[in-house]
Amino acid sequence: MTINADALKSEETEVRKIAERTLREVTVKIGLERINTQEGITMEALLDSGATGLVMSSEFTKKQGFKLKKLERPMQVRNVDRTFNKEGLIENMVEVNIYYQGHRERTEIDVIREQKWKVILGMPWLAYHNPEINWRTGEVKMTRCPEECGKQWRPV
Ligand SMILES: [Zn+2]
């Protein structure tokens, strides 16, 4: 049997083109409320299954005047594959209420040096709420939340 290498190659290119076209970042418009003053803002957060926590950029916390809470023990940021992340140590977090599609949850967000995104909701949030995500259109539906959703929780 002979394989037409050219045909294979063009098929591969086609697949890659489709992948690039459909590759998108899925974001959600959330409300963030400070626990101490109950002031709220609306902002766009990135949903990222590659992130191992809930994180906020230190620049954003400064700009918004979020009150930082020092962690008792600084944590080393790890990537999903358990390697150490270039962001270095997490030393602070902020306590917030997150509002999204009728949900309200009190949680803690780790502060990191990440610059591109102000807030990233990572794997713990995704696994807990288990939203239906349409990766082509970016539509997010909160249809599979656990019963205890909305109560205070801290991702582990
Ligand atoms: Zn939920």
Q: Is the pLDDT of residue 155 over 50?
A: no
Question: What is the CA(7)–ligand 1 centre distance, in A?
Answer: 47
- CA gap 59, 141 in Å, rounded: 30
> pTM, whole model, 2 decimals?
0.76
The single-letter code of the amino acid at 81 is D
What is the maximal distance between C-alpha atoms in the chain? 72
What tokens were used for 106? 């009190």
In single-letter form, the type of residue at position 61 comes to T
The answer to whether position 98 is within a domain reads yes
Length of the chain: 156
Most confidently predicted of 73-77, 93-97, 98-102, 114-118:
93-97
Give residue-wise pLDDT tens across range 112-142. 886 789 999 999 899 999 999 998 888 999 8
- Contact predicate 155/107, CB 8 Å: yes
Kindly state the average pLDDT of the residues 19-28.
Answer: 73
Residues 82-94, mean pLDDT to the nearest whole number = 77
Evaluated on CA atoms 77, 81, 84, 87, the torsion sign reads negative
28 CA distance to ligand 1 centroid (A)? Answer: 13
Q: Has residue 82 got a pLDDT over 50?
A: yes
Is residue 114, in this structure, part of any structural domain at all? yes
In a domain, 11, yes or no: no
Residues with CB under 5 A from ligand 1 (ion): 103, 129, 145, 149
Question: Is residue 72 in a domain?
Answer: yes
The answer to whether residue 31 sits within a structural domain is yes
Domain of residue 117: give its range.
25-141
Residue 79 vs residue 133, higher pLDDT: 133
How many independent structural domains does the chain possess?
1
Are the beta carbons of 57 and 109 closer than 8 angstroms?
A: no
CATH classification of the domain holding 43: 2.40.70.10
Ligand 1 centroid from CA 60, angstroms:
25
Let me know: does 113 contact 60? Beta carbons within 8 Å: no
Alpha carbon separation from 120 to 33, 88, 143 (Å, rounded):
16, 16, 21
Which of 14, 44, 50, 39 shows the shortest CA–CA distance to 29?
A: 44
Average pLDDT for the chain: 82
Whether residue 19 lies inside any domain: the answer is: no
Q: How far is the centre of ligand 1, averaged over its atoms, from the C-alpha of 129 (Å)?
A: 4
Compute the CA torsion angle 68, 71, 75, 81 (nearest 10 deg): -70
In a domain, 3, yes or no: no
Residue 14 lies in a domain: no
